[in-house]
Amino acid sequence: MSRSPKSPSSCSGGRIRLRGVLTRMSARTPTSTPTSSPPRSARDLARWRLRGQQLVTPHADSSGGVVRHLLAVQAENAGQAAWAVACRSRRPDAANLAGLLDRGTVIRTHVLRPTWHFVATDDVAWLIEVTAPRVRPVVFRQLGEVHGLGADDVDRATQLVLDVLGGEPDRTREELAQHLAEAGMELAGQPLMHLLGVLELDRLVCSGSPREGVHTYARFEDRVPAAPPVDRDEALARLALRYFTSHGPATERDLAYWATLTLGDVRRGLAQVQHRLDSFELDDRTYWHAQGAQPPAGEQQPAGHLLQILDELYRGYQESRMVLDADGLVPTGRESAIGMALVDGQMVGSMKRTVGRRVRFDVVPYRGSLSAVEQDALQAAAARYGAFLGLEHELVVRS
């Protein structure tokens, strides 16, 4: 797993300085009313995020509540992302999110970064509009530089896709490829995936009703009700408030990564809502969070979690991501694990999930072994995950 430089996770204490209100507000370095009890360390910061992201009690009432609270949930792997949503709700139920996707209350689309996210229908239009300008060129470039498609090719393919979906919504990518082939355009696999990603970022297509668990596409205008346009400054302010309220404590650079924004845009948004947030300093970084929120005191439940590496607890940050590794146990360099075994907000091992007649979780501890307390916490996490899938579970700890 990659580690960002200057991570506060490398120390167990941490220098803290409360941040007061300046007499003159600066959009470059927003300031806020100080919190009364800032965290003492990176470990405490990680525990705070567990609660803020609803991974410990009190959980959200429903899957829809989770998506709305977090604003967006990365959903590249739809199956595992379903657990990322469900494990934050009081009664994890796969049918809950499936129903929201079927009805279009939640949309799965490219937004924030060049990948899929679950987003509430009410939020999807303004969120794409404010973040697409820096994301779309990355995806569009692939069509020409990698796949050799010219502007005329893209325009023709776009019209063909929209014509098909206008008459037959909820088509899979394979079905769209077949329609394109019948019209004389051989476009499938990665080229078609990138084209559809561009169309999602242009708010021309989005997810349709899934068919037997398979992702489909529909026209954006048929799936998402029209809404009044949101001014960019207002959208930046809305984004800053929603992100720091749900993902906080977090830094400006964390938000810039999460939403593919410039630091200037992050600060423009933050300057407008800083009076509705609190902040503190830890290891020379300013962290913003929901106003009035305090670090958790005492034990939190559940203590153990088995999550994918794409979970918002990890992927929702960059600069301060590795507060999840306060002891510096996780190998540096390229991310090699596809899952995390966490206890009390700390990564105690890598995790691989295998689904068959039962669901098996293979955990490789970073310390070489797990304590009895850690093993019990992860056994409970495996049981919850297995119950969600309707399968017996098995936790295998490898040395």
pLDDT at 74 over 80: yes
Label residue 311 by pLDDT band (50, 70, 90): very high
pLDDT at 183 over 70: yes
- Rounded to whole angstroms, the Cα distance separating 198 from 82 reads 24
Which pLDDT value is given to residue 32?
Answer: 52
Which pLDDT value is given to residue 37?
Answer: 64
The mean pLDDT of 241-264, rounded to a whole number, is 98
pLDDT at 14 over 80: no
pLDDT digits (tens, 9 = 90+) for 115-167: 999 999 999 999 999 999 999 999 999 999 999 999 999 999 999 999 999 99
> pLDDT averaged over the chain?
91
pLDDT at 6 over 70: no
Radius of gyration of the chain (CA): 22
